[in-house]
């Protein structure tokens, strides 16, 4: 699976990119047909501590899955968005089996 990480208004360090790569790569345990993952990291302009946004778009054959989460850290937001995608992948896999 090809994982592309984009960060808006800041430069993601290697440690953060490695963390994201590891977490997103584990999604193949739930569905092995994932073609690519586009990860977008953004800093929200509001002054609250929960201003880190992680978005992931998974490209799978015949469909795209998308999730977006906001949290205090990019690591926490990434964990939450990966968990949301796990649920979506499980539902998608069940739907495929039902056909």
What's domain 2-98's superfamily in CATH?
Ribosome hibernation promotion factor-like (3.30.160.100)
Q: Show pLDDT as tens, one digit a residue, over the chain (99 residues).
A: 999 999 998 899 999 999 999 999 999 999 989 999 999 999 988 778 789 999 999 999 989 999 999 999 999 999 999 999 999 999 999 988 886
Q: Using CA atoms, how far apart are residues 13 and 65, in angstroms rounded to an integer?
A: 26
Q: What is the pTM of this model?
A: 0.92
Tokens representing residue 36 in the block: 């690519």
Find how far residue 7's CA is from the centre of its chain.
13
Q: Using CA atoms, how far apart are residues 46 and 28, in angstroms rounded to an integer?
A: 34
Residue 44: φ, ψ to 5° = -75, 150
Beta bridge partners of 60: 63
């Amino acid at each position: 699976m090809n994982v592309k990480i984009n960060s808006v208004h800041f430069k993601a360090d290697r440690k953060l990119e490695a963390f994201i790569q590891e977490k997103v790569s584990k999604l193949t345990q739930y569905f092995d047909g994932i073609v690519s993952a586009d990860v977008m990291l953004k800093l929200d302009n509001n002054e609250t501590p929960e201003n880190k946004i992680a978005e992931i778009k998974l490209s799978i054959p015949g469909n795209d899955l998308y999730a977006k989460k906001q949290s205090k850290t990019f690591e926490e937001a990434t964990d939450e968005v990966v968990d949301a995608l796990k649920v979506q992948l499980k539902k998608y896999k069940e739907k495929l089996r039902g056909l």
